[in-house]
Structure 1
Amino acid sequence: MVYTALLRGINVGGNNKVDMKLLKTAFEQAGMNNVITYINSGNIVFTTADQTKKEIARILEEAILGTFGLQIKVLVLSLEDMKKVLSALPDSWTNDDKMKSDVLFLWEEIDDETILEKLTFKPEIETVKYAPGAILWAIDKVNVNKGSLSKLVGTKLYRQMTIRNVNTTRKIVGLMLAAEKQLV
């Protein structure tokens, strides 16, 4: 099966530095196949069989600890998981000079539509939606500093999610679809 691993909090502000070539090797040594890394924020597409997502995450967290000495949370999502998120993501949402749109990927412990009740957001300037496995968030670029996403940073909820912009999310799904074609 095709999976993506989203690493939380690597290569941010000079902290938790992880070299992508070494990370690819660590994933391969941990038994993952067809490993592809995408940009420096910890997005890895790979294939593996006969393991649950939780088992894969544990294996990868141990591999990262062993290789880099870092305790990094890893969220493992299947191609089907990512397709559900992508199908809920409006095509009009962009991450450019006009709009900022992010996908807040959720760990299983908080993955429920009621998560929206725990968030404070400003519906007059922000659009926030739940999709299975994620919160979708968009705001016009001119309002970013007035938005609520920055208030989420450092909270207990924030530690149970990892954020990617919509461009990165769409690219990851594209890489996963290409990996799936190679399996056939």
Structure 2
Amino acid sequence: MSDESQEQAGGVSIGHLSGGAVAAGDHALAEDRSQRVGSAPAAGDPGVPVPGAATPGGIAIGSMSGGAVASGAGARAVDSSVQLDASARELLTSVRTLQQQLPLLARAEGDGVDAVEGELETVGAELERTGTAGRTRLERLRHLLTGAGTVVSGLASALAVVQAIEQFLG
């Protein structure tokens, strides 16, 4: 193969892709390490027209859900995203809402706010990182929010977290 033809190799043209990992070109690598927790994402429009041929070494994609595309010699792309299902998204949203309200509370020693704040941070980070949260941790947070030992239990947003935990745990 001449240098000119090697330079032009590696174009990608996709009409619809639901998921990921496409590679083209010598030693190109595309990996889809994403975690899809829950139901599959909605399929794209099956009537999406296939785009024209990509320019040499270029990419032309008409609709893509998920990712990691690499084109050209030695190109590398990795998708490591976490996609949450509906109950995990609702739980994460309610956790973040309650976290935003905690600084508004007047704090006193032994009021339980610090314990709740720590559990909310851990649960939120775990949901964002993995798409799920451990049952024991969620049960502890639910106990903290429903027990009489914390002033946080009186907030409506605390009730929303408890309800989201119950829905998430099933």
TM-score tier, shorter chain, comes to under 0.3
* TM-score where L is the length of structure 2: 0.22
* TM-score where L is the length of structure 1: 0.21
Larger Rg: 2
